[in-house]
């Protein structure tokens, strides 16, 4: 199965909307990063779908690479080495310190000096699709690129299950962090005593999959 750049933006939007519509951690991040009140996450599916479309539009308009595999079964948004997409800091400095500043410090420590990287902003598999192997096709393409070009891959996993999938493809978790504490509970309900969500900053360094295969 191949991984190609999208030709149908609407189809890509639908796949991503289907993939993320019910995710509590995603809903929190979508509201926070777009400067929306957290109550928007509880206004129904159409409100969440609009936030997802906003993300795809923003990244498309700023030169990100949006790809799909399995006839839009899986869609992913990658920023390219040397071509970062602007993401404004939020009005929440505690969130900024965790999601932006702490992450930047970890990347500076983990990624060798002078090595650029691809950044995976979002990847979603449409639960309505029956295609198999589409997520693998995306990671096969970009881990091969990273190996061939001597570049890293960076992402944030926002669920434990996603973290485990990325680890399978050679990503290593270098920072477990908490966000949304005192704002939402684990189910995304607004709660001033809520535990929030757990995220994982993960990095793939060139040759990681080969090392995994050798170890196996």
Could you read off the pLDDT of 38-48 as tens digits, one per residue? 999 999 999 99
Domains in the chain: how many in total? 1
What is d(CA 76, CA 215) in angstroms, rounded to the nearest whole number?
29
pLDDT tens per residue across span 100-151: 999 999 999 999 999 999 999 999 999 999 889 999 999 999 999 999 999 9
State the pLDDT at residue 214: 64
Characterize 80-116 residue by residue with b for buried, 16 or more Cβ atoms within 10 angstroms of its Cβ, and e for exposed. ebeeebebeebeeeebeebbeeebeebbeebbeeeee
Residues 6+ away with beta carbon under 8 Å from 211: 170
Tell me the pTM.
0.94
CATH number of domain containing 159? 3.40.630.30
3-state secondary structure of 6: coil
State the pLDDT at residue 208: 79
Q: Which domain holds residue 26?
A: 3-85+92-215
Inform me whether the pLDDT recorded for 216 exceeds 60: no
State the pLDDT at residue 205: 96
Mean pLDDT of the chain: 94
What is d(CA 168, CA 202) in angstroms, rounded to the nearest whole number?
12
Share of the chain above pLDDT 70, in %: 98
The band of 213, judged by pLDDT with boundaries at 50, 70 and 90, is low
Helix runs in the chain, H state only: 9-20, 24-33, 45-61, 93-96, 103-110, 134-149, 160-168, 208-215
């Amino acid at each position: 199965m191949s991984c190609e750049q999208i030709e149908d933006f609407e189809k890509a939007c639908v796949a991503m909307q289907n993939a993320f519509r019910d995710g509590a951690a995603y809903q929190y991040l979508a509201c926070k990063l777009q400067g929306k009140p957290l109550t928007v996450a509880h206004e129904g599916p159409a409100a969440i779908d609009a936030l997802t479309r906003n993300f795809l539009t923003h990244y498309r308009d700023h030169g990100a690479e949006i790809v799909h595999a399995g006839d839009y079964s899986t869609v992913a948004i990658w920023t390219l080495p040397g071509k970062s997409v602007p993401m404004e800091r939020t009005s929440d400095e505690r969130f900024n310190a965790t999601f932006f500043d702490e992450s930047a410090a970890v990347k500076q420590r983990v990624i060798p000096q002078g090595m650029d990287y691809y950044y995976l902003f979002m990847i979603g598999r449409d639960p309505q699709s029956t295609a198999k192997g589409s997520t693998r096709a995306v990671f096969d393409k970009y881990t091969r690129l990273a190996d061939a070009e001597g570049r890293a891959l960076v992402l944030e996993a926002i669920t434990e299950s996603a973290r485990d999938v990325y680890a399978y493809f050679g990503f290593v978790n270098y920072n477990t962090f908490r966000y949304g504490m005192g704002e939402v509970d684990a189910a995304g309900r607004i709660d001033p005593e809520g535990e929030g969500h757990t995220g994982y900053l993960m990095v793939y360094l060139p040759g990681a999959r080969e090392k995994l295969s050798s170890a196996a």
